[in-house]
Amino acid sequence: MVTAYDAPGARVASEAGVDMILVGDSVGMVVLGHSDTMQVTIPDMVHHVKAVANARPDAVILADMPWISFHVSPEDTVRNAAELIRAGAQCVKMEGGSKRLPMMKALIDAEIPVMSHLGLTPQSFNMMGGFKIQGREKEAVEHLVAEAKAMEEGGAFAVLIEGVPNIVGTLVTDALSIPTIGIGAGVNCDGQVLVYHDVIGLENRFKPKFVRRFGSAYEDQVAAISNYAKEVREGIFPSVDEMYVAKDGLLEALGLYGSSVDE
Ligand code: KIV
């Protein structure tokens, strides 16, 4: 699984053969320039889910429920999730454990499949005191495994587990019969997810330990735009091959034939 936020990203992910595209609320940080995900709203998510869906990717589209869109009431949660489904998602992801069970049940009753997101949940940034690795102590590990089981029993079709030691990813995966998707949760999860801009190397400022850059998109794009600007300034772009030529007789009609004006 990889995130995508727009049609070109969805086309790339689809052609690359990923199974699932997550339209993550990470859009707030990697695309919209916010410093956390709490600024992201349902209208923001709808906008980006539509863009991804418009590419008709050959992958399941999973939409993140942004902060506060599933905290107020089950009714509110269903209405918000429905907007994401109508925008083109096939399922939604919800951060947090058993206290979200009534909301998850309401979504499943409304025929909306739910992935649960446990461990380091970025929407809990303020409560956690920052982006902090979870499951460091025995009690915390036991609590996480219990929460994962509760989400499975509550009907989640998968559990995404973020920012925990490898052993915790392993224990959660072993405890569940539904798939786990890890991000910074070690190698034993059933699947992995990364943020698109991290995978292609477009995000080059900050590299968490769990990220591997599989490309150098930032440097490649700077080089491409620099070459473009240079060739415009030097009059090399556009070349003859990149210009439209006037049809026969137009220069005469304009009274320009034989003048210094280029065709
Ligand atoms: O929003 C997102 O991209 C996510 C991933 C970090 C899993 O939730």
> Any residues with CB less than 8 A from the CB of 121 and at least 6 apart, and which?
95, 96, 128, 162
Please tell me the distance between residue 139's alpha carbon and the centre of ligand 1 in angstroms.
Answer: 25
Please tell me the distance between residue 25's alpha carbon and the centre of ligand 1 in angstroms.
Answer: 6
Q: What is the residue-level pLDDT of the chain in tens, covering all 263 positions?
A: 999 999 999 999 999 999 999 999 999 999 999 999 999 999 999 999 999 999 999 999 999 999 999 999 999 999 999 999 999 999 999 999 999 999 999 999 999 999 999 999 999 999 999 899 999 999 999 999 999 999 999 999 999 999 999 999 999 999 999 999 999 999 999 999 999 999 999 998 889 999 999 999 999 999 999 999 999 999 999 999 999 998 999 999 999 988 776 66
Q: Of 118, 122, 111, 119, which is closest to residue 89 (Cα–Cα)?
A: 111
Query: Is any atom of ligand 1 closer than 6 Å to the C-beta of 198?
Result: no
Q: How far is CA 193 from CA 48, 116, 160, 189, 259, in A?
A: 18, 14, 9, 10, 62
Tell me the C-alpha distance between 116 and 104, whole Å. Answer: 9
Query: Is any atom of ligand 1 closer than 6 Å to the C-beta of 193?
Result: yes
Q: What is the reported pTM? A: 0.95
Query: What does residue 91 show for φ and ψ, rounded to 5 degrees?
Result: -160, 170
Listed by start position, the domains of the chain span 2-215, 220-262
Name the CATH topology of 2-215. Answer: TIM Barrel (3.20.20)
CA angle 182, 185, 186 (to 5 degrees): 100
For residues 119 and 163, is the Cβ–Cβ distance under 8 A? Answer: yes
Specify whether 153 is catalytic.
Answer: no
Query: Is any atom of ligand 1 closer than 6 Å to the C-beta of 13?
Result: no
Please tell me the distance between residue 102's alpha carbon and the centre of ligand 1 in angstroms.
Answer: 22
User: Out of 162, 203, 252, 263, which one is annotated catalytic?
Assistant: 162
Q: How far is CA 174 from CA 157, 170, 178, 213, 260, in A?
A: 15, 6, 10, 28, 78
